[in-house]
Structure 1
Amino acid sequence: MNSFIHTSRATRVVFGEGTVTGLRAEVARLGLRRVHLLASRRIDESIIASLDGVVVARTADLVQHVPIEHVDSGAQQNSKGDVDGYVAIGGGSSIGLAKAFALRRRAPILAVPTTFSGSEMSPIWGITDAGVKTTGRDEAVAPTTVIYDPQLTTGLPSPLAVTSSVNAMAHAVEALYADDGSPVVSLMAEEAIRLVGEALPGLGSERDISARSDALQGAWLAGVCLGSVSMALHHKICHTLGGSFGLPHADTHTVMLPYVIEYNARASPDTERTICRALGVPNAAQGLQDLVRSCGGPTSLRELGFREKDIDWAVELATRRPYPNPHPITAEGIRALLEAALNDELDRL
């Protein structure tokens, strides 16, 4: 008999085509009057205009991995403007920065994702300082309301749509073998993997609204998984590679996920079977990598700029304070994992 504890988070989710037109109403519903808007200059100006009168601060220059300098400068704006809420429109960079702001000045976050990562559904934050990315969990940074409008993803270039979706899938995969998982989370995780897996081939077209809607729904479920359980080796390695070596966030998740699945396969056979069932493949790691390759996604760290001489430092960082993981985390094991991923040699593991 399984033993588990499951806690549900009260996040309001508004999902559907055209739902972004209700952004101002959702801001009013939260009672926000002085918001910090985090949105790049690529966001449609009509969306920005809908917030006229309530925006007292804006950040348009958004950087991956949430540099501490950006947190500090934004925090000064928040204090000066007496901000009472944050509206983050975009991908993980905007939502991640809003979370970092909420750590300093507690206020609701309204997130409008335009990519598929799923981080908008979690209380997990990350900040990079002096080349080291630190992560944590705080319920205060979990967005209060999330608006999912598939139409906002139609302009997302295919390569980013693919890697962003696999990033979301990673949350679901790790939830399957989390040491604090539950039956509810496992069901959501499998459905997230299935939805994203089926959507990936269609993401080659920026106008395939059906595929993008499925990917967005899969990202939502994967994000719920991310926010409900602890993460393991995959996230530890990706935070290391992104925060300390500047590798692109979603691309790194995309490259590393098949390798970590294979690393954990013998230690977590139930996870292997679930992924195979969700993707309709005989081997989870190889099946996922083949799918990524067929969609034009990256399959090696070398493609992302990681170098052989970086491995020693990456091993050192990735094995510090390791997250719980099905297969033991050792320096030798992580070295083999990174060497295989560097050279696109999944069969080495």
Structure 2
Amino acid sequence: MLSNSIVNLPKVDARFAPDSAVEATLLTCKNLGMRRALCVGTPHGSRRYADTWQGLEPVAAADFHEALPHCPIDTVEACRETFIKYRCDGVIAIGGGSTIGLGKILSAEEAAVFVALPTTYSGSETTSIFGRKIDGQKRTAIDEKCRPDCIVYDARLSMDLPRLISITSAMNSIAHAVEALYPKVQNPLAATFALEALRAHKRGFDTLENGDELSARQDLLYGGFLGGLAIGMSGIALHHQLCHVIGGLFDLPHAETNSAILPHAIAYNRGFIPDADDEIKHVFGGSDSAQTIFDFASKHGAPMSLSDIGMPETGIERVVNGMLAHAGYNPRPLDEAALRDLVTHAYEGIRP
């Protein structure tokens, strides 16, 4: 019998369509009534996925291949203007969190029909969280209307994804899953999704090491999908709050920031999340959950230092002050000295 728990089921329509992204997307657009799509991506993605974009021309009305990390407000408004100018009724986004973030904004604020084709493993496409960068701050919102009307997963779209992006975007999803293990209000279904997400990511990287690229990337997309569902059902804590503060202040890449922060956020919460600690150790091995996650990420080539990804040492106090000013839920209350140690250790990249 459940007590003091919440069970909520987000409305998510996902199609796992290996090697059939174009066909699945065209059929989805037809079923959703989308006739004039704004095709959203990055400059690099316009070339990397050129064949897929060409296959989607029957429903394309305009292109916007200028997505940037953290969705700066100028980029958001330029994308919105293109959507309106070409009388688009929907959005097709191919790429990672930056691209899908623009689709979320148009879905929530312009009632756009939204089809997402994720090519990284963060799982942001399944969450109801979206945001934009304004005046040096990442401002986020939660709105169920931002979710894609359909998500199409085709592992072949991420076959040539660089190993660095593979591990760092997966670390973002692992962070989703970890924080879903200690929510403000217990959510047993989210916890189940979170554990399966952790297993899928562990299995995916083990398989990648063994050379089975396609199977590995199918697992990593699946892990991203589940991790996004889990965090969307349970809400974020200290780790993601910190990542948003750091991203807004210094424009650091979100995925790499996750890799550097997560082991230290887990260490900060030691003693307050015993069940989560045990689950993490059970999946990844080791005797200390924070060290286990640090070792997993560093083994697969993730940057473990905020310094290495561009944060200045003088930024440590700015991060601490920004976090204290925007603190939300966390199982361990915020302590300024301990928080400063967390940020300093992540800046230096030392093993917790």
TM-score band (shorter)? over 0.9
Percent of residue pairs bearing the same amino acid type: 33
The amino acid of 1:252's aligned partner reads: T
Structure 2 residue aligned with 1:247, among 230, 246, 252?
Answer: 252
Segments ≥4 residues shifted beyond 3 Å? 201-207
Residues 1:228 and 1:317: Cα distance change in structure 2 (over 3 Å):
same
**Out of 33, 36, 40, which is 1:38 matched to?**
40
Given that 1:247 and 1:305 are in contact with CA atoms closer than 8 Å, whether structure 2 keeps it comes out as: yes
1:5 matched residue in structure 2: 6
Q: Is the 8 A contact 2:5 2:187 kept in 1?
A: yes
Matched with 1:185 is 190
Alignment of 1:51-70 (within 5 A): 51-70=56-75
Q: What one-letter code is carried by the residue in structure 2 that aligns with 1:37?
A: C
Kindly indicate whether the alpha-carbon contact (under 8 Å) linking 1:233 and 1:323 is maintained by their aligned counterparts in 2: yes
Distance 1:242 1:202, change over 3 A: farther
Q: C-alpha separation between the residues in 2 aligned to 1:275 and 1:34?
A: 45
Alignment partner of 2:325: what SS? Answer: coil
Deviations 1:197-231 (A, max 9, x none): 23224446886111111111111100111221210
Matched, 1:335 2:335: no
Please state if 1:141 is matched with 2:146.
yes
Q: How does 1:1-349 map to 2 (within 5 A)?
A: 2-21=3-22, 22-39=24-41, 40-203=45-208, 208-347=213-352
Query: Which amino acid is the alignment partner of residue 326 of structure 2?
Result: R
Amino acid at match of 2:194: A
Q: CA RMSD in A?
A: 1.6
Q: Quote the offset at 1:234 in angstroms.
A: 0.4
Structure 1 residue 343, shift from structure 2 partner: 1.2
Distance in 1 (CA, whole Å) between partners of 2:316 and 2:240 is 17
Counterpart-to-counterpart distance in 2, 1:237 and 1:206: 35
Task: Give SS of 1:42's match.
Answer: helix
Secondary structure, aligned partner of 1:41: helix
What do residues 130-185 of structure 1 show as CA deviations (whole Å, max 9, x unaligned)? 11100110011011100111111111011110111111110000001011331111
Asked if 2 retains the 8 angstrom alpha-carbon contact of 1:121 and 1:224, the reply is: yes
**Given the superposition, is the C-alpha separation of residues 204 and 317 from structure 1 closer, same or farther in structure 2, using an over 3 Å criterion?**
farther
TM-score by length of 2: 0.94
Task: Return the alpha-carbon distance in structure 2 between the equivalents of residues 71 and 204 of structure 1.
Answer: 38
Task: Note the residue ranges of structure 2 that are not aligned, 5 or more in a row.
Answer: none
Q: Which one-letter code corresponds to 1:19 in the other structure? A: S
For residues 216-255 of structure 1, the C-alpha deviation after alignment (integer angstroms, 9 at most, x for no partner) is 1111100111221210000011011112111111111011
5+ residue gaps in structure 1? none
**How far apart in 2 are the matches of 1:167 and 1:311?**
21
Distance 1:288 1:55, change over 3 A: same
2:13 maps to amino acid: R
Say if 1:65 and 1:126, in contact at 8 Å, map to a contact too. Answer: yes
Q: Supply the AA of the counterpart residue of 1:274.
A: E
Number of residue pairs the alignment of both structures matches: 347
Give the C-alpha shift of residue 340 in structure 1. 0.9
Question: How far off its partner does 1:295 sit?
Answer: 1.1
Do 2:4 and 2:185's aligned partners in 1 also have CA atoms closer than 8 Å? no
CA contact (8 A) 1:163 1:297 kept: yes
Of 5-14 and 169-178, deviating more is 5-14
Report Cα offsets for 1:101-133 as digits up to 9, x if no partner: 223311221100000000000111010011110
> 1:142, 1:112 → 2: CA distance?
13
Q: Answer whether contact 2:49 2:157 (CA < 8 A) is retained.
A: no
**Residues 34, 83 of structure 1: 8 Å contact kept:** yes
